Amino acid sequence: MPKTKKFGSKPKITPYNKFMKTELPKVKLDIPEITHREALKIVAQRWKDSPANPKNAREPLEDLSDKQKNAPESFAERYEAIPCDPKNVEPLVE
């Protein structure tokens, strides 16, 4: 038996849709001569950097394990060269 749609159920509003609903009028007020399409592009660009975007949410430090808290922050720290004496290094090519 195929599933039927329930009447009266509304689709869930995503954080992106909420953001668009609030930010789009702001952009249009700031730049009245802008087209709707251009305003959508501006708001979409703002969404990328917005704290309302779930992809930009950072985990609180308390939720991280001890290993993650003490992890190096940068590539240079992660792959720091081990100091050695160049006189005691064997050549790679024979």
Q: Does the residue 89 lie in any domain? A: no
Q: How many domains does the chain have?
A: 1
How much is the pLDDT for 3?
Answer: 66
Q: Does the residue 39 lie in any domain? A: yes
Q: Does the residue 8 lie in any domain? A: no
How much is the pLDDT for 68?
Answer: 59
Q: Helix, strand, coil: what percent of the chain each, to 5?
A: 50, 0, 50
Nearest Cα to Cα of residue 45 among 27, 66, 25: 27
| pLDDT tens-digit map of 27-53 | 999 999 999 999 999 999 999 988 888
pLDDT of the chain along its 94 residues, tens only? 566 666 777 788 899 999 999 999 999 999 999 999 999 999 999 999 888 888 887 655 555 566 555 665 665 555 555 566 666 666 666 5
What global pTM score does this model have? 0.50
Q: What is the DSSP letter of 92?
A: S
Q: What are phi and psi for residue 6, nearest 5 degrees?
A: -80, 135
Q: Three-state DSSP class for 90?
A: coil
Q: Does the residue 92 lie in any domain? A: no
Q: Give the domain extent around 39.
A: 15-80
